[in-house]
Every structure is written in structure tokens, then in C-alpha cells.
């Protein structure tokens, strides 16, 4: 039935496919010729045989106008590797900003998930090897040759900056700008054999001008780098190596020890930690990859940021574990919020191997993801060992999506969590349609079942959004039943129907160095399914963005909220059942990201729960050359409600020393004033060959209400992973 519906909608929308885009031709390196030396200099004679593209256009500040600095991109390939050369000309080469050397820092995901550059000049390449006009690999670098890779899913529905591939890049500063040279093994790419044409795009940031230029997709009306369907074509890729099973194994060896304070006796207990395990990856078909893991270990993962919960909802922490990050967008199903935790996700990978009391051992599992014809498929199966009050538990996820027309889809998904006789199963269907380049319609319907229990376990959403250079809007209606329970996902609250959205109007004044002035409106009406009001919000904001990259936003919100079940703010201040006014004034702002010192601040004052909640956050990031990065952030929250008052402080310091593009030292120290706790996470990483790492990780946790110096836990890990391609 799903395929029949897809075929019908495909016929109706077939005319919506994008027009034929521009082309860049890759050139085969002749037999007997020498491949380019990966040094970033582009002085190899073979590069002169490839004709470049150089017609990049601005998206900012002047839409559609030729870039102020020329960019040339060439492509070569041989029987094993795709080579891409970028020459970034600059009329003032001494002003090229290049302070980042650390891996995965050249780009980041904006607050709405879209790709954007950090504080440096940079080049990003989009490669849609399967040419499905939806999903792509992103590789980026700067004039230092820093490495960045990410995965784009469903035209930017997810920009996974934590994914990691196997490839190399080198860069060089020149008298007329800078150059970069990429070498990407075909074994690291997903493509269809016999298809000589891929999707391809180029995105450049000229940071001192805050100028964004693209080869294709530069329009502000529904465009952008994340719109894979608007990418150009990379053709000429004849006689590529036919994908084999392409098996990779990555075993690991772990040694370490922990000292932890027993909660019952208060005595410090030493525990040795040893482990052997690993991962295996195999390409079982063109674009279809099987990943398997045994005795899965996450010792090298950075610690979570400390948060203080001043709301009645659960905190939401992002996934950071590498195994769950690759192709994570395939399993995306549900609804997210711009600000705040997602109201409904059918699958949230942190439910596997992480409990409220600590980590749960992952015995192993497998994941199958990729493309079969016009279908995207995902299958995940994991098993965790017994820990705390949980027994051995099995987790299973199945995901299917069928392409419709140019860049639309209809899909289905199911999750299942089983522990002994207890189970939780969730199933649903979803869709995403693009009637025009700027207009998107999407929705889902899901049903949850727990241990055979009945009740209203349904959830559904319909949303319409459009983004152009002049205006934007997003409207939605969301419904979550009182008995909805997604134990392999995340639900912020049950028994609601929420209607609302946001609108944007943009002006481009020619005064005060402003680039854009945005008026924003956010409104929501939330009620129980029986119609009883829970929340209403109506907010207006003024957002100012300067040509240099500075930003400041002020917002005011009126509203009201109803508490049906008493709760405690920060587990200490009771808030009784009742109706409360809810008004907020707030701001956030940041300085020019191209500077060596970047400032940011945000805060708000909220009258709610019969009292006042005030929060102020300030931070500074200092980059000392390309090796040192220091960030200091502090948040103070004042709470005064009828049941009492409190002051909560959070301080964090991040210190990163990057020795080379493959050798890093990262330190995160955090202080939670409410719990009188100090924690430290120190990670040393050496990438001794692509895909193979040496990690040294040290953790320390101190403090309690009696003494901030009291040791609670200490741990050390040495972990070695080794990638072997068979």
C-alpha cells in the first residue's frame, strides 16, 4: 500500500523535479600518469588536464551577484581515489582568517540545524554519490588544512557534524589566496556502479567580508547548501571501481581503572577496566552498508554539558557516541523544537546504553542503512546487558522511506524495546513534500503500545513551512495522546494538542552597517485533549545582524501556563497545581566570529509560577593562533517563588590544544554550584592513520553539600582502535 501511494503521489508531483543544473566534469588520470601528491600546492602537472568551474555566486550579502573573490574547483580520479582541488583566490591574502586546526570545528550546525561555517574562511564540498537529490556527504577545510566531515539527510533535516569518514586533505597559503587538495578513497564513498553522474556543490566563506558563495543553490528562496536537490552535477565518472563487499574491521583494546565512592558505605572502591571489542563495516550492495559491533565501548566520548533543570520537563542531551551517529538521520521520525526539548521522537539513541544511574554495558548489535533503488532503508538491532534495575534488553528499529518525484518521500518506521516479558512497540508513517522550491509540507502519525496496555497512545503532526529571502513561516498542529509511551524515543509531555508556529519578515537596511533586520513572531496554544488550556504563548522579537557577523536579538513574550501536577524546581522548590501568568523578556547576542576573541551573552527574566526566574549567561572564546582555543562560559540563575528561592551557578572551561591536524588535547572542567560539584574530562587523541586512533581519557568528579573537594569518582582509560580494510 505504501508503494502504491508513493507511485500515485510521484505521478502527481513528477513535474516538480528541479531543472537541469550546471556540470563539472571529472577527468580520469591516464594509465601510467602520476596521481597528485597530496600537499595542497596544486603544482602537479596532472591538474592542468582538468577544466575548472569558477562561477560561484553570492547568497550573502548580495544574492546572485558574482563572488568578490574567484574560486576554482577541479576534479580528477583514478582506479582508487577521487581527487578534488580548490584554489581560493583572495585579493588580500594576508587577511584570510585561519585560526582553526582542530578536527570537526571548521563548520557547525546552526540553531535550526542548517550548515554554517565557524569563524574561519573555509571551503565545503557536497557529494551526493547516490544521486538521490536528498542525502549527501559534506567535506570541508580551511587554509590550515583542518578536517571536517558531516552527513546531510533529507535536504538538511539533519546535519550530522559528529559523523567521521576516512579521507585526507592538505592546504597551503599562497601569494594570491589559499589552496586545498582533497583525496577521497572510493571505498569511503557510496555510489551506484555505472552511474557516471553525481550530485555536487561548493560552498565558500570569505570571513572578513562575511560573504557566503555557492556554485549552485545560492538563492535565498528555498535554497542553501543543505538543499541537495539544487546541487550541480559532477559527471565524467566513467568506469569507476565496482563496489565490492568493502569490508572494514576496527578492533579496540581498552585498559583502565576507576575509583568510585560507594553510595551506601561512603568508601572509595577501586575497579580495574579492561576490554576487547570492535566494529565491522561491510558494503552489502551499492549504497547499502552493514555495521556490526561487539562489546561496544564509548570511553572516548566527551562528557555531557552540566545543566540545571528549572522547568517541569525532562532535560534533553544530544547523542555524542560515534556508532550511533553514522546515518543517524535515516532514523529521524517525529517533531523537534527550535528552542527546548523535542515534543516527540520515535527513536532517540541515548535510550540505548544510558540509564539515569549511569552507563549500561552494550553487548553488541548491528545496523543496516542505505539505499535500495528509490528506497531508503534502516535496520538497527542492539542488546544491552543487565545493570541497575534493568535486565538484558533488546532494542530494534526498522525504517523505510520511498522517494516521490524529485525530493519528496513517504515513509514508515517501527521501534521495539523488550526486557523479558515487558515490551514497548511504536509504529508510524510520515511524509515530506516540496510542492515548490521554498514550500515544504510534512507530517507523521504514530501509535505506541506498552505491555499490551490500551489507551490513547497516538501521536501526530502536520506542518507547513516556507523560507524565502524576504519572509518565512512555519505552522504546525501536534497531537500526543495521554498514554503515548516511546521507550526507545523521547516524549516531552503527554495529553496535549498544540497549534502554533512562527513567522519572519526580513529587511536589508543600508544604514549602521546592518545586513539584516528581522521581525519574528512565535505563538502557540497548547491544551489537553479534553480542551483544558495548558499553555499559551505570544512572542515578538527583533533580530539585528551586522555585516561583520555581530548579532543581537531582543524578545518579549506574553503567556500563561497551567500546572496540573505539582513539581519541584531544581528538585528543591515546590510549585503547586494552579494557573500562572508567564511573561518573559530576554536577549542574546554575539560578537564577530572572525575575531581572535569572541563574546556571547544571553539572558531572560520570566515572571512565572507566582514568582520570578532570572537567568544570565556570558561567555568568551579566545583563539591564540591556530593551536590554542580557550572557552569560558558562566550561567547564573535566580529563582524566587512563593515556596522559596535559590541561586544556581554553572561554570565551564574548555581548553583545546591542537598540535597537528591529527593530534589533539581537549579539557572540559565544569562547576555546578547547586550541587557543589566539580567535574573534569581530559581527552588526548592521536589519529595515527585515517580511521585509527589512540585515546587517553581522564575523568574526575568532586564535591557534595559538605565539601567541594570530596572525591566522588576518578577514572582513566587508554584505548587503541585500528582500522583494517580487507
Residue 337 has pLDDT above 50, yes or no: yes
CB 391 within 8 A of CB 371: no
What does DSSP assign to residue 66? B
All cell numbers assigned to 489: 524515543
In the chain, % of residues over pLDDT 70: 96
SS3 682: strand
Torsion sign (Cα): 173, 216, 136, 24:
negative
Predicted pLDDT of residue 31: 87
Q: Which residues of 444-457 are buried (b: 16+ CB within 10 A; e: fewer)?
A: bebebbbeeeeebb
Integer Rg of the chain from CA: 26
pLDDT in tens, 602-638: 999 999 999 999 999 999 999 988 999 999 999 999 9
Predicted pLDDT of residue 220: 93
SS3 507: strand
CB 170 within 8 A of CB 40: yes
Question: Domain boundaries in the chain?
Answer: 2-235
pLDDT in tens, 365-401: 999 998 888 899 999 999 999 988 889 999 999 999 9
CATH 3.90.1140.10 matches 2-235: no
CB 602 within 8 A of CB 587: yes
Predicted pLDDT of residue 322: 78
Please state the separation of Cα 312 from the chain's center in Å. 26
Determine which helix (DSSP H) or strand (DSSP E) holds 423, and give its type and residue range: strand 422-433
Average per-residue pLDDT for the chain: 90
Residue 334 CA to residue 119 CA, distance in Å, equals: 32
Burial class (CB in 10 A: 0-12, 13-18, 19+), 36: buried
SS3 368: strand
Residue 669 CA to residue 529 CA, distance in Å, equals: 44
Half-sphere exposure of 700 (CA within 13 A, CB side): 14
All cell numbers assigned to 111: 540553531
Q: Of 144-148, 450-454, 470-474, give the lowest mean pLDDT range.
A: 450-454
pLDDT in tens, 672-722: 998 899 999 999 999 999 889 999 999 999 998 888 889 999 999 999 999
All cell numbers assigned to 17: 523535479
pLDDT in tens, 160-181: 887 888 999 999 999 999 999 9
Residue 442 has pLDDT above 60, yes or no: yes
CB 394 within 8 A of CB 376: no
Predicted pLDDT of residue 192: 83
pLDDT in tens, 260-283: 998 888 899 999 999 899 999 888
Q: What is the DSSP secondary-structure string of 235-288?
A: E--TTPPPP----EEEEEEEEEEEEEE-TTT--EEEEEEEEEEEEEEEEEETTE
CB 150 within 8 A of CB 165: no
In the chain, % of residues over pLDDT 90: 72
Residue 72 has pLDDT above 90, yes or no: yes
CB 164 within 8 A of CB 123: no
The dihedrals phi and psi of 204, each to the nearest 5 degrees, come to -125, 140
Residue 652 CA to residue 666 CA, distance in Å, equals: 13
What does the pLDDT average to over 324-331? 83
Q: What is the DSSP secondary-structure string of 598-641?
A: EEEEEEEEEEETTEEEEEEEEEEEEEETTTEEEEEEEEEEEEEE
Predicted pLDDT of residue 1: 40
Amino acid at each position: 500500500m505504501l508503494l502504491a501511494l508513493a507511485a500515485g503521489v510521484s505521478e502527481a508531483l513528477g513535474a516538480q523535479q528541479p531543472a537541469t543544473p550546471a556540470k563539472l566534469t571529472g577527468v580520469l588520470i591516464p594509465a601510467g600518469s602520476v596521481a597528485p601528491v597530496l600537499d595542497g600546492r596544486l603544482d602537479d602537472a596532472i591538474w592542468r588536464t582538468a577544466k575548472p568551474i569558477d562561477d560561484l555566486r553570492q547568497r550573502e550579502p548580495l544574492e546572485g551577484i558574482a563572488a568578490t573573490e574567484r574560486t576554482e574547483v577541479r576534479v580528477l580520479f583514478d582506479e582508487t581515489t577521487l581527487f578534488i582541488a580548490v584554489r581560493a583566490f583572495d585579493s588580500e591574502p594576508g587577511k584570510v582568517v585561519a585560526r582553526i586546526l582542530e578536527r570537526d570545528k571548521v563548520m557547525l550546525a546552526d540553531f535550526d540545524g542548517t550548515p554554517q561555517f565557524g569563524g574561519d574562511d573555509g571551503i565545503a564540498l557536497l557529494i551526493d554519490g547516490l544521486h538521490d537529490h536528498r542525502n549527501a556527504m559534506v567535506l570541508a577545510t580551511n587554509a590550515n588544512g583542518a578536517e571536517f566531515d558531516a552527513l546531510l539527510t533529507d535536504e538538511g533535516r539533519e546535519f550530522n557534524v559528529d559523523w567521521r569518514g576516512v579521507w585526507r586533505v592538505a592546504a597551503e597559503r599562497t601569494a594570491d589566496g589559499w589552496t586545498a587538495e582533497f583525496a577521497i578513497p572510493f571505498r569511503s564513498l557510496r555510489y551506484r556502479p555505472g552511474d557516471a553522474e553525481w550530485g555536487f556543490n561548493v560552498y565558500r566563506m570569505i570571513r572578513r567580508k562575511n560573504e557566503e558563495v555557492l556554485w549552485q543553490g545560492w538563492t535565498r528562496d528555498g535554497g542553501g547548501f543543505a538543499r541537495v536537490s539544487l546541487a550541480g552535477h559532477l559527471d565524467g565518472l566513467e568506469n569507476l571501481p565496482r563496489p565490492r563487499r568493502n569490508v572494514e574491521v576496527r578492533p579496540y583494546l581498552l585498559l583502565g581503572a576507576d575509583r568510585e565512592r560507594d553510595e551506601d558505605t561512603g568508601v572509595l572502591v577501586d575497579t580495574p577496566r579492561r576490554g576487547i571489542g570492535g566494529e565491522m563495516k561491510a558494503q552489502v550492495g551499492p549504497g547499502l552498508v552493514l555495521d556490526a559491533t561487539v562489546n561496544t565501548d564509548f570511553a572516548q566520548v566527551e562528557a555531557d554539558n552540566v545543566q540545571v533543570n528549572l522547568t517541569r520537563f525532562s532535560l534533553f542531551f544530544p547523542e555524542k557516541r560515534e556508532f550511533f551517529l553514522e546515518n543517524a538521520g535515516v532514523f529521524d521520525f517525529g517533531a523537534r523544537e527550535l528552542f527546548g526539548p523535542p515534543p516527540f521522537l520515535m527513536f532517540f539513541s541515548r535510550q540505548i546504553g544510558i540509564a539515569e544511574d549511569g552507563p549500561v554495558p552494550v553487548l553488541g548489535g548491528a545496523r543496516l542503512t542505505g539505499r535500495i533503488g528509490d528506497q531508503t532503508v534502516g535496520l538497527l538491532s542492539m542488546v544491552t546487558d543487565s545493570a541497575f534495575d534493568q535486565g538484558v534488553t533488546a532494542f530494534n528499529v526498522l525504517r523505510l522511506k520511498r522517494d516521490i518525484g524529485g525530493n519528496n518521500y513517504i515513509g514508515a518506521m517501527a521501534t521495539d524495546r523488550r526486557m523479558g516479558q515487558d515490551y514497548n512497540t511504536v509504529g508510524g508513517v510520515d511524509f515530506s513534500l516540496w510542492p515548490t522550491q521554498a514550500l515544504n509540507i510534512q507530517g507523521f502519525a504514530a501509535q505506541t503500545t506498552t505491555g499490551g496496555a490500551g489507551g490513547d497512545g497516538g501521536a501526530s503532526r502536520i506542518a507547513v513551512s516556507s523560507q524565502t529571502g524576504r519572509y518565512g513561516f512555519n505552522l504546525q498542529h501536534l497531537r500526543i495522546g495521554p498514554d503515548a509511551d516511546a521507550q526507545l524515543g523521547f516524549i516531552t509531555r503527554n495529553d496535549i494538542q498544540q497549534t502554533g508556529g512562527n513567522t519572519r519578515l526580513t529587511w536589508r537596511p543600508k544604514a549602521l552597517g546592518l545586513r539584516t533586520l528581522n521581525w519574528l513572531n512565535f505563538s502557540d496554544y497548547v491544551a489537553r485533549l479534553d480542551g483544558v488550556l495548558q499553555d499559551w504563548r505570544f512572542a515578538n522579537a527583533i533580530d539585528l545582524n551586522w555585516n561583520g557577523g555581530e548579532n543581537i536579538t531582543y524578545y518579549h513574550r506574553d503567556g500563561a501556563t497551567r500546572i496540573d501536577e505539582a513539581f519541584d524546581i531544581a528538585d528543591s522548590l515546590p510549585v503547586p497545581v494552579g494557573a500562572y501568568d508567564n511573561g518573559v523578556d530576554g536577549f542574546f547576542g554575539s560578537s564577530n566570529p572572525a575575531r581572535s576573541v569572541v563574546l556571547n551573552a544571553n539572558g531572560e527574566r520570566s515572571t512565572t509560577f507566582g514568582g520570578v526566574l532570572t537567568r544570565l549567561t556570558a561567555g568568551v572564546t579566545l583563539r591564540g593562533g591556530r593551536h590554542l582555543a580557550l572557552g569560558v562560559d558562566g550561567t547564573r540563575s535566580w529563582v524566587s517563588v512563593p515556596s522559596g528561592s535559590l541561586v544556581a551557578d554553572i561554570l565551564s572551561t574548555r581548553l583545546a590544544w591542537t598540535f597537528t591536524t591529527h593530534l589533539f588535547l581537549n579539557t572540559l572542567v565544569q562547576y555546578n554550584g547547586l550541587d557543589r560539584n566539580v567535574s573534569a574530562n581530559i581527552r588526548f587523541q592521536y589519529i595515527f592513520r585515517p580511521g585509527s586512533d589512540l585515546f587517553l581519557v581522564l575523568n574526575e568528579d568532586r564535591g557534595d553539600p559538605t565539601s567541594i573537594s570530596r572525591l566522588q569518582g576518578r577514572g582513566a582509560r587508554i584505548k587503541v582502535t585500528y582500522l583494517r580494510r580487507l
